[in-house]
Chains A and B, each alone.
Chain A
């Protein structure tokens, strides 16, 4: 029997966080389609973050020998520990190499006129502070529902997404894990279809 212990809407452009206890699942529903959900995971002891248990995009990619995340991908800390596992995916692949947008990197990518636009790094910093973390704790993240191909010559970029309204992805916690999310506010590339929208977060006991 499955019962939802939490069912929340994350507003467009907003941060969100919650702790998943080992065995609990989080379903992320892309309500309107092609909405990047920038996400970090941190192992916790009780409600305290374990700094050695921070998500590592590199450890995750090296262990599965593939840059794309999908069903079966184990999302790992730098020491190789499993934090969560993707147990369902209606999209096919998700990014973990392109990182989060920031006001600072927006100046490089789109020009200095974008420096005061909202960005994921702002959401991460604000939400991390609630858990006693700061800038040093923010690392390369996962971009659920974001599509970043790498071509044969190494060219990579954020292109039109593979998701669609109502599609979802579910992770199951392998250990007690804090989930830190920025519902991406980027308006200068197709990661949100140029129109940031809300997403739904459903936590269930398995």
Chain B
């Protein structure tokens, strides 16, 4: 097919999609496909960002066992309010992410809660390598943000543990098929970079799957009864209600 003319170049361009294949992650069993809002396979060393509404359930999964999802969350309508990893550890008195763990903003509100987790290998301590930071900068730039917005991030599917001495032990992946579900409490920009954990001795990364669906009814069923969580839920719900 010639591309020497605009006609030929257009035909060449338009012929490509029909001959290509692209894997799209499946919705979980039992979720009606009318609820689907996002399904995307993120290759190793790539990134995505998306605005997600309140009441979205976001599933990140690691089909091949080598994904490493570095995550930032920003209020979609006020991006200077963002994930605060220090408060996300300090407020629930827990450094390791798991079911029921709040992902807190710097304003004492819930951006998301972990509502399912078959990996249990995550990290809030080490963040992104400088190369990964550059990818996160691109993800944020597409929402009008810049380097000042690239705060410390959460990392899913690669774990770290702290020894008594404060030393870190890299615990790696839980293996193929692990998934983490986040319930989104306020409209957010979700930015995800799929790249190596900085302590990973074998930094080759595999694909990351993302699926998100409407789950508004879950907002009224708290998965955590700690007093700190209940007060974060109060701050979140009252802020949302006041702005309507």
Q: Tell whether, in the assembled complex, residue A100 and residue B125 are in contact, meaning their CB atoms are under 8 Å apart.
A: no
Q: How far in angstroms is the closest Cβ of chain B from A16?
A: 21
Interchain CA distance A105-B199 in the complex, whole Å: 30
Query: Which of A25-33, A49-57, A168-176 lies on the face that meets chain B?
Result: A49-57
Q: Tell whether, in the assembled complex, residue A105 and residue B90 are in contact, meaning their CB atoms are under 8 Å apart.
A: yes
Which of A57, A61, A80, A154 interacts with B94 by CB under 8 Å?
A154
Identify which of residues 19-72 in chain A touch chain B, using a CB-to-CB cut-off of 8 Å.
51-52, 54, 56-59, 61-62, 65-68
- Output the nearest chain A residue to B97 by Cβ-Cβ distance: A154
Using A104-B235, A136-B80 as known contacts, say yes or no to A109 and B165 having CB atoms under 8 A apart: no
- Output the nearest chain A residue to B153 by Cβ-Cβ distance: A58
Q: Tell whether, in the assembled complex, residue B199 and residue A65 are in contact, meaning their CB atoms are under 8 Å apart.
A: yes
Query: Which of A5-13, A91-99, A197-205 lies on the face that meets chain B?
Result: A91-99
* Most A CB within 10 A of own CB, among B128, B151, B168, B232: B151
Q: Tell whether, in the assembled complex, residue B94 and residue A99 are in contact, meaning their CB atoms are under 8 Å apart.
A: no
Using A61-B168, A97-B86, A100-B86 as known contacts, say yes or no to A136 and B95 having CB atoms under 8 A apart: no
The interface residues of chain B lying within 8 Å CB-to-CB of A58 are 85, 125-128, 152-153
Interchain CA distance A4-B119 in the complex, whole Å: 53
Q: Tell whether, in the assembled complex, residue B148 and residue A51 are in contact, meaning their CB atoms are under 8 Å apart.
A: yes
Interchain CA distance A78-B127 in the complex, whole Å: 9
- Output the nearest chain B residue to A189 by Cβ-Cβ distance: B90
Say whether B133 faces chain A, with CB atoms less than 8 Å apart.
Answer: yes
The interface residues of chain A lying within 8 Å CB-to-CB of B38 are none
Interchain CA distance A157-B90 in the complex, whole Å: 7
The interface residues of chain A lying within 8 Å CB-to-CB of B85 are 58, 99, 140
Q: Tell whether, in the assembled complex, residue A105 and residue B93 are in contact, meaning their CB atoms are under 8 Å apart.
A: no
CB-CB contacts of B118-135 with A at 8 A, as 1s and 0s?
A: 000000111110100100
Which of A51, A99, A137, A149 interacts with B87 by CB under 8 Å?
A99
Q: How far in angstroms is the closest Cβ of chain B from A171?
A: 19
Interchain CA distance A153-B98 in the complex, whole Å: 11
Q: Tell whether, in the assembled complex, residue A67 and residue B231 are in contact, meaning their CB atoms are under 8 Å apart.
A: no
Say whether A121 faces chain B, with CB atoms less than 8 Å apart.
Answer: yes
Say whether A117 faces chain B, with CB atoms less than 8 Å apart.
Answer: no
Say whether B15 faces chain A, with CB atoms less than 8 Å apart.
Answer: no
Q: Tell whether, in the assembled complex, residue B167 and residue A66 are in contact, meaning their CB atoms are under 8 Å apart.
A: yes
Q: Tell whether, in the assembled complex, residue A66 and residue B93 are in contact, meaning their CB atoms are under 8 Å apart.
A: no
The interface residues of chain A lying within 8 Å CB-to-CB of B199 are 62, 65
Identify which of residues 93-129 in chain B touch chain A, using a CB-to-CB cut-off of 8 Å.
93-96, 104, 106-109, 124-128
Q: Tell whether, in the assembled complex, residue B168 and residue A65 are in contact, meaning their CB atoms are under 8 Å apart.
A: yes
The interface residues of chain A lying within 8 Å CB-to-CB of B31 are none
Say whether A163 faces chain B, with CB atoms less than 8 Å apart.
Answer: no
Which of A66, A136, A158 interacts with B168 by CB under 8 Å?
A66
Q: Tell whether, in the assembled complex, residue A108 and residue B235 are in contact, meaning their CB atoms are under 8 Å apart.
A: yes
Identify which of residues 13-72 in chain B touch chain A, using a CB-to-CB cut-off of 8 Å.
none
Q: Tell whether, in the assembled complex, residue A97 and residue B228 are in contact, meaning their CB atoms are under 8 Å apart.
A: no
Say whether A107 faces chain B, with CB atoms less than 8 Å apart.
Answer: yes
Interchain CA distance A61-B126 in the complex, whole Å: 6
Q: Tell whether, in the assembled complex, residue B152 and residue A156 are in contact, meaning their CB atoms are under 8 Å apart.
A: no
Q: Tell whether, in the assembled complex, residue B152 and residue A140 are in contact, meaning their CB atoms are under 8 Å apart.
A: yes
Say whether B141 faces chain A, with CB atoms less than 8 Å apart.
Answer: no
Interchain CA distance A186-B170 in the complex, whole Å: 34
Which of A80, A104, A137, A155 interacts with B148 by CB under 8 Å?
A137
Using A65-B199, A140-B85 as known contacts, say yes or no to A97 and B125 having CB atoms under 8 A apart: yes
Say whether A139 faces chain B, with CB atoms less than 8 Å apart.
Answer: yes
Q: Tell whether, in the assembled complex, residue A155 and residue B93 are in contact, meaning their CB atoms are under 8 Å apart.
A: yes
- Chosen A-B contacts, 22 in total, with CB atoms closer than 8 Å, are A51-B147, A51-B148, A52-B147, A58-B125, A58-B128, A59-B127, A61-B125, A61-B168, A66-B167, A67-B125, A78-B133, A79-B130, A79-B133, A80-B130, A102-B87, A104-B107, A105-B87, A107-B108, A108-B232, A153-B96, A154-B94, A154-B95
Q: Which residues of A contact B (CB under 8 A)?
A: 51-52, 54, 56-59, 61-62, 65-68, 78-80, 93, 97-100, 102, 104-105, 107-109, 111-112, 121, 134-140, 149-150, 153-158
Known: A104-B109, A105-B90, A136-B149. 12 other contacts (CB 8 A): A57-B152, A61-B168, A66-B168, A98-B90, A102-B87, A105-B84, A107-B108, A107-B235, A108-B87, A108-B104, A153-B96, A154-B95
